[in-house]
Amino acid sequence: MITLFGLKNCDTCKKAMKALPDAAFVDIRAEADLAAKLPVWLEAVGAKALVNTRSTTWRGLDETQRARADSDTAGLLAENPTLIKRPVIEANGTVFVGWTAVTANELGADA
């Protein structure tokens, strides 16, 4: 089973859902159990891959808050779910972040 974590209005998430029509969609803000998921995702892919430093939310943080990306990544992301690079895809025990041609190929979908 493939689970896609994202935002309903995110264009990249929409592309991934279109390519993965059988995937279960979980809204990262409203439905995801981030307390349980974030440690797993961080262990699998690391903070650099999971934190979206190009987002509007990131640009709105002050330096103290941004420093938490290194010291308390899970806490920062739990408080600001839109900082999570999207989509996060769980498939067969593997975690993928973002939607690229490589991710699509790994999941057997078209990018």
Q: How many other CB atoms are found less than 10 A from the CB of residue 58?
A: 17
pTM of the model: 0.92
In tens, the pLDDT along 93-104 reads 999 999 999 999
Does residue 7 surpass a pLDDT of 80?
yes
Q: What is the mean pLDDT of residues 71-91?
A: 96
- Which CATH number is 65's domain given? 3.40.30.10
In a domain, 95, yes or no: yes
**Are 19 and 109 within 8 A, CB to CB?**
yes
Q: How far apart are CA 61 and CA 105, in angstroms?
A: 35
Q: 101 in helix, strand or coil?
A: helix
DSSP 4-73: EEE-TT-HHHHHHHHH-TTSEEEETTTT--HHHHHHHHHHHH-HHHHB-TTSHHHHTS-HHHHHHHHH-H
In a domain, 111, yes or no: no
Does residue 110 surpass a pLDDT of 80?
no
* Number of structural domains found in the chain: 1
| Residue 108 binned pLDDT confidence (cut-offs 50, 70, 90) | confident
In a domain, 89, yes or no: yes
Task: For residue 23, give its domain range.
Answer: 2-106
Task: Name the residue among 88, 96, 106 with its Cα closest to residue 7.
Answer: 88
Active site members = 10
In tens, the pLDDT along 24-55 reads 999 999 999 999 999 999 999 999 999 999 99
